[in-house]
Amino acid sequence: MGSNDPEDSFLDIEKASPAHPLTLPTYYIARYPVTVAQFRAFVEARGHRPANERCLHGLANHPAVYVSWQDARAYCKWLTEQMQQQPEKTPASLAEFLRQPEACVTLPSEAEWEKAARGPEGFVYPWGNEPDPNCANYADTGIDATSTVGCFPGGASVAYRVEELSGNVWEWTRSVLGDYPYPEGAQERAERELLQSDGTEPRVLRGGCFADVARNCRCALRNRVIARYIDFVVGFRVVLAALPSSNL
């Protein structure tokens, strides 16, 4: 996790992000970002009032954007309830995982996100070490807008076949911005991944977006904004993880 390349800097964050090994507990990560259709289903079912209603107006199979960190967390809580209440509609391995008292659907930590993107080989991009506009939707691709999730299968991460990790939209993580090494102990991780929010703390974004140059779509790159931030290039994906009990 992290990078020692002096060229790998973005808003000076990565200068405090040296490469280091990290062992993570088992988790599952969504293959794609949450789409407009999926987020709309949550809003309609729960009667949730999003911070910006433009999150509901995009194309149904594109990533949901204009979603705040709090909106994304509310979606995760709802999806946890749906999977727990309807185990017959949940894949057996996921239903079994959810039986753990600490298990829930949540946002990925930046460590979980980076693991899914880089794999054990530590690639620069999910598909390898060189940028490729045929593998992701970033500035050189020329779309200049969000794209349908799943239309860049060649950009799936080599180790885990997770897609859309580079480009398309920036993705929220549950991590508060902090220096590396990333904490490995349960209590320390709970503090870094604090799920309570007043909307003003800096949360880490990952992945770059359709408007970014290639170097801003690297797996190790970290960006950050406050949790109540809303933008047309910011979306999210989910993980199924067992969190430290102090963070539930």
pLDDT by residue, tens only, the chain of 248 residues? 988 776 655 555 545 578 899 999 999 999 999 999 999 999 999 999 999 999 999 999 999 999 999 999 999 999 999 999 998 999 999 999 999 989 999 999 999 999 999 999 999 999 999 999 999 999 999 999 999 999 999 999 999 999 999 999 999 999 999 988 999 888 899 999 999 999 999 999 999 999 999 999 999 999 999 999 999 999 999 999 998 765 65
From CA 69, how far away is CA 228, in angstroms rounded?
6
CATH of 26-242, one of 3.40.50.1370, 3.40.50.280, 3.90.1580.10, 3.40.50.1100: 3.90.1580.10
The pTM is what? 0.94
| Domain extent listing, the chain | 26-242
The helix (run of H) or strand (run of E) holding residue 224 is strand 223-226
| Cβ(137)–Cβ(54) below 8 Å | no
Q: Which residue has the tokens 């790998």?
A: 8
